[in-house]
């Protein structure tokens, strides 16, 4: 397939994109024609295979394959309602993957949607990692504030560390920091939070905020009172998580937060340079 043909097909596929509130989609009937299926009934079989593949990847089928109806003209001014679908890029990719790659248009569609889906996956990954970094920064802030409050109550650094350990054990089902790190495979000299998933980071942050609030409201003093409060705060958060079948000690670790931040900075710098070149 030469470059001119590739450009023609790309323009053809892009011309069929539609938008609802800035969300792009393809109509099933139009994709049927693009991929060279003469009968809707035959194309529906390929769509069903795509839905199965979507479900097997853990994605919501209803988010990517949306049933709709449309009106078509049938001559002499008459109209008839027919079934159709609104398909996301990912849905189109799955459908194309179930076509015959020996056909030029199918081979093109497989590569086209695979490329576009990869871009979307990278965007989603970037958003997810940015959220984790923001949560991590917020946790650092709440921990620093809690340290300031606790040490203002007369506790030294070791006392603060013991209070934090009580809270952490409560959040992780009674396991010590060392036990958790060993079980998760976190390097000995690194902080546990550097490898925690976003939901656990946010849970720790909320527990810190609760402890701060209660120390100031109830005028708690001494390591025992403050430690008991921090333990209680974390236990309450854990109870809320476990009711949703989320157990912090069983969640897999994430990539080292240092590497994530470094990659995000690299991506942002790269995007900025690309924008400058376009200008």
The pLDDT-based confidence of 202 (bands split at 50, 70, 90) is very high
Percent of the chain at pLDDT exceeding 90: 56
Residue predicted with more confidence, 85 or 271: 85
Give CA–CA dist 227/211, Å, rounded: 9
Nearest CA to 212 among 225, 230, 196?
Answer: 230
What is residue 255's DSSP assignment? S
Residue predicted with more confidence, 275 or 17: 17
The pLDDT-based confidence of 117 (bands split at 50, 70, 90) is low
Radius of gyration of the chain (CA): 27
pLDDT higher than threshold 60 for residue 262: yes
Give the pLDDT score at 123.
61
Give the pLDDT score at 209.
97
Could you give the 3-state DSSP secondary structure of residue 216? helix
Give CA–CA dist 116/146, Å, rounded: 45
Proportion of the chain in helix, strand, coil states, percent, rounded to 5: 70, 10, 20
The pLDDT-based confidence of 75 (bands split at 50, 70, 90) is low
Q: Give strand pairing partners of 81.
A: 71
Give CA–CA dist 6/216, Å, rounded: 66
Mean pLDDT of 264-268: 77
Among the residue ranges 2-6, 134-138, 272-276, the one predicted with the least confidence is: 272-276
Q: How far is CA 176 from CA 79, 131, 172, 208, 249, in A?
A: 70, 27, 8, 18, 10
Give the pLDDT score at 19.
87
Q: Give strand pairing partners of 78.
A: 75
Give the pLDDT score at 273.
57
Mean pLDDT of 178-186: 93
Give the pLDDT score at 275.
44
Give the pLDDT score at 201.
97
Backbone angles phi, psi at 26, to 5 degrees: -115, 145
Under 8 Å between Cβ of 256 and 186: no
Backbone angles phi, psi at 66, to 5 degrees: -110, 120
pTM of the full predicted structure? 0.62
pLDDT higher than threshold 70 for residue 276: no
Give the pLDDT score at 272.
54
Give the pLDDT score at 271.
56
Give CA–CA dist 3/11, Å, rounded: 12
Burial zone of 107 (CB within 10 Å; 0-12 exposed, 13-18 middle, 19+ buried): middle
């Amino acid at each position: 397939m030469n470059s001119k043909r590739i450009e023609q097909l790309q323009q053809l596929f892009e011309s069929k994109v539609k938008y609802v509130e800035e969300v792009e989609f393809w109509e099933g009937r139009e994709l049927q024609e693009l991929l060279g299926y003469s009968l809707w009934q035959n194309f529906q079989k390929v769509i069903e295979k795509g839905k199965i593949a979507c479900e097997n990847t853990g994605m919501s089928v209803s988010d990517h394959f949306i049933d709709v109806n449309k009106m078509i003209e049938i001559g002499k001014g008459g109209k008839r309602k027919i079934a159709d679908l609104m398909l996301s890029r990912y849905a189109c990719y799955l459908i194309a993957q179930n076509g015959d790659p020996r056909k030029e248009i199918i081979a093109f569609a497989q590569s086209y949607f695979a490329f576009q889906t990869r871009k979307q996956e990278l965007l989603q990954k970037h958003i997810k990692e940015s959220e984790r970094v923001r949560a991590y920064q917020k946790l650092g802030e709440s921990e620093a504030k809690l340290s300031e409050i606790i040490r203002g109550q007369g506790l030294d650094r070791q006392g603060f560390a013991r209070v934090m350990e009580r809270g952490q054990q409560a959040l992780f089902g009674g396991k010590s920091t060392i036990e958790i790190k060993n079980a998760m495979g976190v390097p000995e000299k690194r902080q546990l939070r550097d490898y925690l998933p976003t939901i656990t980071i946010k849970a720790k942050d909320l527990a810190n905020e609760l402890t701060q609030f209660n120390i100031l409201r109830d005028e708690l003093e001494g390591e025992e009172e403050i430690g008991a409060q921090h333990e209680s705060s974390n236990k309450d958060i854990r109870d809320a998580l476990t009711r949703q079948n989320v157990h912090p000690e069983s969640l897999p670790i994430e990539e080292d937060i240092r590497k994530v931040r470094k990659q995000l900075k690299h991506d942002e710098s790269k995007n900025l340079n690309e924008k400058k070149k376009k200008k």
